[in-house]
Structure 1
């Protein structure tokens, strides 16, 4: 049974603890055979080196991050497979710029995450106050349209936490729209994977995405990977076995990870 975790961070994003090595060592202690580091990419379209110092790494740190990762890949060869990843925001207007920069580096995979939708961050709790039913529907449809666009860009191997807007949009699951199914169908058509991200337990009491979305993902043939979204070494591989069992209960027979952007199938 191959054990892996593809979504981890470290101190460069300034809201995670520990060095990259700390996460790799935690992966070894957790029994992982494969660990991917995927810290938050800089805001690459900004003229400022570090416009959001508590959210993502500085642009000047990006090549240093890749260099350190490549060194650690070699240092840990034979002990654990270390994969070079990155978690990227998705801005439709900057796709070509981001792609041109990412193409310079030997990423094993890129996680595309929609953190901005409708002109604001999805984690701004105040934006969800006193919304009408029409506004809730519009907000959810805009979010899932961006997720579909992120898959269609074919810039990402994995889409991150595809219902994370529910953290403060607490009744998002009750808002019915075909936009979710359209997104899942598009994700399947592109061969992109979604992650079962176990970090939601600490923010909204449940994993990302919810079971009903996972069930529909299975129906449409979407592959799933695992990510703890660890922001501290102690959370590496958190709930891995429980996540594996949940996917089996839903009906999945496999999950996947990526190496040199190639999908590797792992039986559940």
Structure 2
């Protein structure tokens, strides 16, 4: 059984194609389940659309939900379409986000940390001029936020938990106990992490998280799911078989997708 829970579409402003393009690609590639999970609006901001090119506007969210519900019905005999969203995690705005999400029949929410100290982790200039101590501080704050997101109870899945390496690969080699501490918290709160295959398109190469973090995740018995993080429909289900094979080599025997916020186990 094949699935992909992490996909993006034209609404976010930095992906190509309509949701239907991604569903049709999933069908062509033999997937059984496809999750729609575009970037949530910034519900904590006053403006309707404070960051065009990063997320959809708040005023678009109802249409987003309605379109997925419509596509669920249109394709119900060909593929299971899941209603999801990738949500930024801002501790100060968590209650506002929850208040919005509680209004909708979401199958799952991916919680992702994209900002540390107010700067996007994918901003290549954020590292300019930083010394070792400052770099360590950014890394430890990143994983502190991931811990907090795991404790929040908001999410079924945590997205790309070492994406901070995307345009700064050497940060993976900065020693800190914060990674293992975050993994323990994730395990204690029974939140899944994803094998996100989009990392190979960044400077770091490879998947998120790295092989060694996945091995440690297995040690802590953290549940696993798969997300291509597709921003073009051609990447749907990318590296599904390779990821399954690698997880089996680590001792995993199943991974999960989520329906009505409940885990559904899929044998590897």
User: TM-score, length-normalised on structure 1?
Assistant: 0.98
Q: Aligned partners of 1:93, 1:69: CA distance in 2, in Å? A: 29
Q: 1:262 — aligned with what?
A: 262
- Unaligned 5+ segments in structure 2 are none
> Partner residue of 1:153?
152
Match for residue 14 of structure 2? 15
**Cα distance in 1 for residues equivalent to 2:118 and 2:58:** 22
Cα offset for 1:252? 1.2
Tell me which residue corresponds to 1:197. 196
Contact 1:144 1:183 in 2 (8 A): yes
Shift of 1:119: 2.0
TM superposition shift of 1:206: 1.1
1:71 corresponds to which residue?
70
Contact 1:114/1:146 (<8 A) preserved? yes
Q: Give the whole-Å Cα distance in 2 for the aligned partners of 1:142 and 1:47.
A: 26
- Match in the other structure for 1:167: 166
Q: Distance in 2 between matches of 1:46 and 1:139?
A: 24
Residues in 1 aligned to 2:49 and 2:118: alpha-carbon distance in whole angstroms? 20
Give the SS at the match of 1:161.
coil
Is 1:41 aligned to residue 37 of structure 2? no
Shift of 1:183: 0.7
RMSD over equivalenced CA pairs, Å:
0.9
**In the aligned structure 1, how far is the partner of 2:52 from the partner of 2:128?**
27
Hey, what does 1:228 align to over in structure 2? 228
In structure 1, distance between residues paired with 2:211 and 2:33: 25
SS of aligned partner of 2:15:
coil
Task: Name the CA distance, whole Å, in 2 between partners of 1:73 and 1:128.
Answer: 42
In 2, the alpha carbon distance for the partners of 1:131 and 1:51 equals: 28
Residues 228 and 237, structure 1, Cα contact 8 Å, conserved in 2: yes
Per the TM alignment, residue 168 of structure 1 is displaced from its structure 2 partner at its CA by 2.2
Deviation at 1:205, TM superposition (A): 1.2
SS in 2 for 1:218: helix
Counterpart Cα distance in 2 of 1:157 and 1:208: 17
Secondary structure of the residue that 1:171 maps to in structure 2?
A: helix
Q: CA offset at residue 266 of structure 1?
A: 1.1
State the Cα distance separating 1:135 from its structure 2 match: 1.4
The answer (yes or no) to whether the contact 1:128–1:168 under 8 Å persists in 2 is no
CA deviation after TM superposition for structure 1 residue 239, in Å: 1.0
Superposed displacement of residue 96, structure 1: 0.6
Q: How much has 1:193 moved relative to structure 2?
A: 0.3
Alignment coverage as a number of residue pairs: 267
Q: Shift in Å at residue 170 of structure 1? A: 1.9
Q: Secondary structure at the match of 1:26?
A: helix
- The offset of 1:133, in angstroms, is 1.8
- Partner Cα separation in structure 1 for residue 167 and residue 18 of structure 2: 30
- 1:213-254 Cα shifts (integer Å, max 9, x gaps): 001100011011000001111110111111111111222111
Counterpart for residue 215 of structure 2: 215
Residue in structure 1 matched with residue 82 of structure 2 by the alignment? 83
Q: Distance in 2 between matches of 1:14 and 1:137?
A: 32
Structure 2 equivalent of residue 247 of structure 1: 247
